[in-house]
Amino acid sequence: MKTLLLMRHAKSSFKESEMPDFERPLSKRGEKDAPRMGKLLKDKDLTPDLILSSTAQRACQTAELVADKCKYEREIVFINDFYLGEPDVYMKALGDLGEENTDVVMVIGHNPGLESLLQLITDKVESLPTAAIAQLEVPIRTWKALNNDIIANLKRIWVPSDLK
């Protein structure tokens, strides 16, 4: 059994309207929510063995803040194709993983691709607002075995506004 954590990047800033979408940083709220979600992971004993993140500025910042608070000790793997990526992009990245010490993998990306991935592998339609984390139990022994026929168990979704 593997654990997959799907996280939508934290809230981004729209202060500079001329800024390209890819370069938008986190807003003040995003800078507050991302560490809170990292602390939640640490408190729930769900520190990832591996973090895969989009290369968009807001996703990179989210990944770094989460990693710091949950005491993640490895390198974050940044994947260009996660920006505007569809479910098959995420599935390929997961399927390509090596198997040493990767029982808990976190993916940090964007909607609508992440919500579509969640629906594809759980057969449930759920919302992932900014900085939300979905915890899935995936009935596989290796990430290479992940495919569109696997149905994962959606354990829970945490949303920053639900945390006290």
pLDDT at 164: 67
Q: Token pair of 75, please?
A: 């390198």
Note the pLDDT of residue 21. 84
Question: Hey, where are the domains in the chain?
Answer: 2-11+21-162
DSSP 81: G
Q: Which fold has domain 2-11+21-162?
A: Rossmann fold (3.40.50)
pLDDT for res 17: 74
DSSP strand pairing (153-158 vs 50-54): unpaired
Instruction: Give the long-range contacts of residues 69-75, CB within 8 A, separation 24 or more.
Output: 69/34, 69/35, 69/36, 69/37, 69/38, 69/39, 69/41, 69/42, 70/38, 70/39, 70/41, 70/42, 70/46, 71/42, 71/47, 72/38, 72/47, 72/48, 74/49, 74/50
**Strand order in 77-79's β-sheet?**
77-79, 50-54, 104-109, 2-8, 133-138, 153-158
Candidates 140, 85, 139, 126; CA nearest to 107 is 85
Mean pLDDT of the chain: 94
Per-residue confidence (pLDDT) for residue 13, from 0 to 100:
84
What pLDDT was estimated at residue 54? 98
Intra-chain end-to-end CA distance of the chain, in Å: 30
Mean pLDDT by 10 residues, the chain (164 residues): 97 81 93 97 97 98 98 96 96 87 94 96 96 97 92 97 82
